[in-house]
Structure 1
Amino acid sequence: MNHALEQMQQHRSIRSYQDKPVPAEVLDAVLRAAWHGPTSINGQQVSLVVVQDAARRARIAEIAGGQPWIAQAPVFVAVVADFYKTRLGVAAAGSEQVIHDSVEGFAVAAVDAGITMGNLMTAARAAGLGVVPIGGIRRDPAAMIALLGLPELTFPLAGVVLGYSADDSAVKPRLPLATFAHSERYDAAALPGHIAAYDQTLQQHWQNLGRADGEPWSQSIARYYQQVYFPQVAPVARAQGFGFDR
């Protein structure tokens, strides 16, 4: 197996970082790797805001619900859905943009943001950095918009922490591959058994790490998915000019 595949299969979310800056040339190479990723119709409706200022990172850690690794690591990259940029291009062509006023528009931006994040994290890890993706900035998206100076028709979807790892975490076991990669047709019948087995596997993983607070997967996702855990996403997105009725 080549190094890139092995590294991707050993992903770890790092939540402890050294007090060591990321060299400008390393950060530039990582950002360029993310920049070259594909986007739907070459629309490029994703932008990054790179935050290195310590006070600003500390504020992001607060907005995200108290995640100290955001303040600890030297770099935070916000991944932003950006139909402000595309609207300028559409206007330059003498037309009016409407895609931002649809569920499809938000879906396209979210998909392309995910591709960007994947490339960003893969490139960072290839450069010897640790990473952890952060969805918690959607807890208070209005605060992120104000902090980053985002214009209308943009929305902060997620972010990535970058830095040199201080403590390598263990690889967390995943649901069986059969629950992720289905052959020809989706195999719904096998899922309950796979989930039950995975709950036991994950619980054993937490026990091996001495984590008394570790939960089975089903209990963990139930704490989140029994509610809309970031309820400000829709109203703030609408306030930014996004619509969901088309």
Structure 2
Amino acid sequence: MNEVVKSLMNHRSYRQYLDRQVKEENLNTIIKAAQAAPSWIHGQQVSIISIKDPIRKDKLAQLCGNQNHIRQAPIFLVFCADFYRAKLCGDLEGMTLEALHQVDSLLVGATDVGLSMSYAIAAAESLGLGTVPIGGIRRNSLDVTDLLELPKYVIPISGLCLGYGAEEPAQKPRLPQAAVLHDEKYNPQQEELLQEYNRSFFQFERNQTGNETSTLTWSKRVANFYKNPYYLGVEKMLQKQGFNCEDISKQK
């Protein structure tokens, strides 16, 4: 197994950080790696906002659900889907960009952010740094857009804590590959695989928490997250940022 694959397969999430600054050259390397990720039409629909100021990190920690690791991490990166530059391209070329109003644009932006963040995480870990993605950046997304002064057509997708881990967290078990890799067509018969995974996840949680009475399984955890809408107000944020998500095909 080569070193790149070893590093990728050793990934884990860090939620405790040392009071140790990240060198600017390392941050630049991580951002360059993030920029090297593929993007749809080479549109590079991603912007990354680096937050180092303790006051601003504290405010973002509150907006993300009072996540203290955002305060601890020396750098907090906010990955945004960015179509503001596409709008500028339209202005330069004298064109209106109708495609920005389609739902597909949101899929493009989220995909490009995911690819870019994955490259950033891989680069950071290769430099001995720890990370944890923060989906909570969408918890109060309207306030986040105001705090970061995001222009129209830019939306926050995920945050990323970046720093030196204060401890080595255990690596969570993954789903059986048979549940993820499908041959030729999708296999919906996954109940037994999920039950198998529930057992390993259940034991992992007990070992980590030391709580012998815990009944948390992976399926219960996921079902609890999706039982009700999780982050409210995202639709209003999208509208404010210029994404009406219209079905243009019905207008013709």
TM-score normalised to the size of structure 2?
A: 0.94
Is 1:220 the counterpart of 2:221? The answer is yes
Runs of 4+ in structure 1 over 6 Å off: none
Is 1:101 the counterpart of 2:108? The answer is no
1:3-14 alignment runs, 5 A limit? 3-14=3-14
- Give unpaired runs (5+ residues) of structure 1: none
Q: 1:124 to 1:210 in 2, by over 3 A?
A: same
Are the aligned partners of 1:17 and 1:165 in contact in 2 as well (CA < 8 Å)? yes
Please tell me the root mean square deviation across aligned C-alpha atoms, in Å: 1.1
2:48 alignment counterpart? 48
What number of residue pairs does the alignment pair up? 245
Is 1:2 the counterpart of 2:2? The answer is yes
- Give unpaired runs (5+ residues) of structure 2: 248-252
Deviation track 1:55-83 (CA, whole Å, cap 9, x = no partner) reads 11111111110110001010011011111
Deviation track 1:90-118 (CA, whole Å, cap 9, x = no partner) reads 22112111222110011100110100110
Counterpart residue type for residue 172 of structure 1: K
Separation (CA, whole Å) in 2 of partners of 1:98 and 1:64: 32
SS of residue paired to 1:209: helix
Separation (CA, whole Å) in 2 of partners of 1:94 and 1:22: 43
TM-score normalised to the size of structure 1?
A: 0.97
SS of residue paired to 2:183: coil
Q: 1:152 to 1:184 in 2, by over 3 A?
A: same
Q: 1:18 to 1:214 in 2, by over 3 A?
A: farther
Separation (CA, whole Å) in 2 of partners of 1:60 and 1:180: 34
Deviation track 1:112-152 (CA, whole Å, cap 9, x = no partner) reads 01001101111110111000000001000011111111111
1:205 alignment counterpart? 204
Q: 1:163 to 1:214 in 2, by over 3 A?
A: farther
Counterpart residue type for residue 208 of structure 1: N
1:74-113 alignment runs, 5 A limit? 74-113=74-113
Counterpart residue type for residue 4 of structure 1: V
1:31 alignment counterpart? 31
Are the aligned partners of 2:79 and 2:156 in contact in 1 as well (CA < 8 Å)? yes
Separation (CA, whole Å) in 2 of partners of 1:243 and 1:102: 8
2:153 alignment counterpart? 153
Identity %: 36
Separation (CA, whole Å) in 2 of partners of 1:169 and 1:112: 28
2:193 alignment counterpart? 194
Instruction: Quote how far apart the aligned CAs of 1:210 are.
Output: 3.0
SS of residue paired to 2:158: strand
1:144 alignment counterpart? 144
Deviating more after overlay: 156-165 vs 94-103:
94-103
